[in-house]
A = this chain, B = another copy of it.
């Protein structure tokens, strides 16, 4: 039943929801990029591409909503750990308020 339409709609929804999910995730837990992809899958049940998440994290950094630090590993590639900033928390609250207002209108 209109599977392609619904799949496309889902992609469009992500353009709005994804920053929200990432900001919330980082409020409960410090994460690195690759880990965020896995958390989004297990916690929110959504699949996100690497080509989506890395540019998104860079955008949120530029906006001052996140901070990050490189952490060397005993073995393997270093990880870039992200944390949410004070401003990030405020923006998250604003976004959440906005979206809940919109959803209220759905009957």
Contact = CB atoms under 8 A, between A and B. Distances in A.
Chain multiplicity (copies): 2
A102 B6 contact: no
Nearest to A96: B106
A23 to B, nearest CB: 10
A19 to B, nearest CB: 6
A12 interface: yes
B13 A102 contact: yes
Interface stretch (A29-37, A73-81, A86-94): A86-94
Given A1-B91, A6-B95, A16-B9, A105 B63 contact: no
Interface of A: 1-2, 5-6, 9-10, 12-17, 19-21, 24, 27-28, 43-46, 63-65, 87, 90-91, 94-96, 98-103, 105-107
Contacts of A98: 6, 10, 13
A103 B107 contact: no
